[in-house]
Amino acid sequence: QKEVEQNSGPLSVPEGAIASLNCTYSDRGSQSFFWYRQYSGKSPELIMSIYSNGDKEDGRFTAQLNKASQYVSLLIRDSQPSDSATYLCAVNGGTDKLIFGTGTRLQVFP
Amino acid sequence: SQTIHQWPATLVQPVGSPLSLECTVEGTSNPNLYWYRQAAGRGLQLLFYSVGIGQISSEVPQNLSASRPQDRQFILSSKKLLLSDSGFYLCAWSPGPNGDYNYGYTFGSGTRLTVV
């Protein structure tokens, strides 16, 4: 059974701090990795994708991938209250189905 | 650009009533289509997915069924709703078999179903 694990949180960080969200996956053959943001009552929105080991930066977001450790993370710099949401990690093992984690709830307080 | 439409946004239905939720995608052809359910405070549960017209794979045996009568139309149905069918139903699409698995999914805006 392919699995994606995330700490459910909540992860509470003060405004302006770096929020670090982590995800591990079980399928060593996984090829692509995604982070979705889901505001309460809304549908998930794709915010980052990463395919190669290392870091990928997009604005305040940085995705980090370590395939040897089967670990993917999302860093949010200068966290804002508007970043408060649930962040879902998703992994593709080369099929037409993504495997989603259950999400980490992030709270950014002023 | 591609867009995905899902309706209705909210629905309150009595136990035992039928259900039909519709999802359509524009701006692409031969997409993979997915139905997910998210119970309150829970993760995403894949219900059905389809790689082509009339091709439906069921992930979880339950009170629901899905159909794909047209290339870009995906319908979720039930003949008799149960209380446990309440939840947030999400349709999603990704590029089809000749597309890019690295693309990820794009979700519709969702239908919040309450069975009373």
| Mean confidence (pLDDT) of chain A | 94
pLDDT bracket for residue A12 (50, 70, 90) = very high
Chain B contact residues (CB < 8 Å to A): 32, 34, 42-44, 46, 49, 51, 90, 94, 97, 101-102, 104-110, 112
Q: Sheet containing A61-66: which strands, arranged edge to edge?
A: A4-5, A19-25, A71-76, A61-66, A54-58
| Mean confidence (pLDDT) of chain B | 91
pLDDT at B115 over 80: yes
Q: Do the chains contact at A42 and B109, CB–CB below 8 Å?
A: yes
What distance in Å separates the CA atoms of residue B100 and residue B112, rounded to the nearest whole number?
30
pLDDT mean over B20-33: 94
Q: What is the pLDDT of residues A58-79, one digit of tens each?
A: 999 999 999 999 999 999 999 9
Give the residue carrying structure tokens 């790689």: B51
Task: Note if the bond before B69 is cis, omega within 30 degrees.
Answer: no
| Residue A106, min C-alpha distance to chain B (Å) | 14
pLDDT at B61 over 80: no
DSSP at B41? T
**CA A45 to chain centroid:** 12
| Tokens encoding B15 | 């136990």
pLDDT mean over B54-79: 92
User: Which of B15-19, B25-29, B56-60, B90-94 has the least mean pLDDT?
Assistant: B56-60
Q: Which residues does chain A have within 8 Å of residue B97's beta carbon, measured at their own beta carbons?
A: 96
Q: Where are the beta strands (DSSP E) in chain A?
A: 4-5, 11-14, 19-25, 32-38, 45-50, 54-58, 61-66, 71-76, 85-92, 98-100, 104-109
